[in-house]
Each structure stands twice: as C-alpha cells, then as structure tokens.
Amino acid sequence: MLRISFEEIFQSNFLERITQLSLLDCVAALVLAFAVGLFIRLIYKKTFSGVVYSGSFSLSLVAMTMITALIIVGVTSNVVLSLGMVGALSIVRFRSAIKDPIDIVFLFWSISEGILCGAGLIPLALGGAALIGVLLLVFSKIKETEDAYLLIVRFTDPKSEKQIREITEKAVKRSRVRSKTVSEGSDAELILDVRVQAGETDFVRKLSELPAVVSATLVSADGTYAS
C-alpha cells in the first residue's frame, strides 16, 4: 500500500512549481479579462432585443470571463493542479434555464475570451472580441422585412369566418390556419399563422370592428401583442 507522508509532500517539487506562477501575469490576465468582459457586456446591452433586460446576466458575463481566465492561469502553471481542476469542474452542473438562444452565444463567447486571456493569447483575444462584437452589432440592426404572428380571433357567428379570412388575407403576405374551435353555446375561435409586413397591423382593428367578432389578438414570437 502506497503511503505518502506530509514531509514527503513538502520535500517534493510540488510547491516549487506553484511558486513559479508570476503574480504580474495573473494580474495582467485578470485586467485584460475584465476589460474584454466589459466589452462583451456592452455588446450584449446594445444588441438586446428581448422583453426584460437582465442586469445580473450581463454582470455574469464579466465575471465568467475573469473566472475562466483565472482557471486557465492556474491550469497552465501546474500540471498536477490542472488535473485536480478538471476533476472538480467535471462535477459542476448548471441548472439555470436559458430563455434566449443568443444568451448561449454570449456565455460561450465569455468563456472563450477568458481562455484566451488566461493563456496569454492577447492579439487573438482582442481581435476576436472586436470582430465578433462588430458582427453582432451589424446583424442586430438588420431586421426582417416580415414578422411571424399568431392571429387569434373569437367570434359569435360561424358565417363571419369567411369575412375574417378575406380581411386577413388582403392585409398579410401569407396566412395559414393553425387551429379552429367551434362548440355549441360558446364563441368560436380561429387561430391563424400569419406573416405580417413590419409595422402593418392595422387590420387587427378592422377585424375587431366586425359585429360578430368578440376579440382579435395578434401575438408575436417575443410575447408582445396588439389587439
């Protein structure tokens, strides 16, 4: 059975390898990671298009970049320490739900920049951050010419469905029946999948003015609606 005493551990070169870590390199990596993390946070704020802006998530992007850089600095300084970190990080599980797929892009971007900063690849870290930031800004300004909506119309007279379809088809580029509900003694409901030209939602008001229409609601993918 192999037994290693504390004296043998201290006599080994394990601690000597740890002392080889340069404090200046650590500080430089963390400062660079902090600056790049702030840049990522700024790009996230400029390109955000969701409903509620999360300040805690944007702050976590800065922290994620610095923490990753710190881990990489420690890993590159000692082989034994790197094996321990791999084992420790392998049991970490993240349970937070990602609401927007673009958030995954920013998280992966922060981790990648932290790795580059910790490894000392400064030109690649700065150049990659600038290029990705510019591309995200450019693509965030490009808007689709048509938006996808769900049109939900409740009406009392089933015979008015033809008039509802005619008004809708004239106002939108494409329409498709998603579902239709008709039951005796209650209002009928028609759900259409429509493609609306950007900003042209006035037809919803026309639908709501029909005598047989109880309500007309236009729901977009991000949860906003017009009725």
Among 37-41, 147-151, 168-172, 211-215, the range of highest mean pLDDT: 37-41
Distance of CA 144 to the CA centre of its chain: 19
The band of 36, judged by pLDDT with boundaries at 50, 70 and 90, is very high
* This prediction's pTM: 0.58
pLDDT digits (tens, 9 = 90+) for 46-73: 888 766 677 788 888 899 899 888 888 8
Task: List 119's β-bridge partners, or say none.
Answer: none
pLDDT digits (tens, 9 = 90+) for 144-181: 555 677 888 888 877 788 888 888 888 787 788 888 78
Domains and CATH numbers, the chain: 7-141 (no CATH), 146-226 (3.30.70.260)
If one compares 201 and 39, the residue with the highest pLDDT of the two is 39
DSSP string, the chain: -----HHHHHHSSHHHHHHTS-HHHHHHHHHHHHHHHHHHHHHHHHH--SSS--HHHHHHHHHHHHHHHHHHHHHHH-HHHHHHHHHHHTT-------SSHHHHHHHHHHHHHHHHHHHT-HHHHHHHHHHHHHHHHHHHH---SEEEEEEEEEES-GGGHHHHHHHHHHHSSEEEEEEEE--TTS-EEEEEEEEEETT--THHHHHHTSTTEEEEEEEETTS-EE-
Average model confidence (pLDDT) across the chain: 76
pLDDT digits (tens, 9 = 90+) for 71-85: 888 777 665 565 556
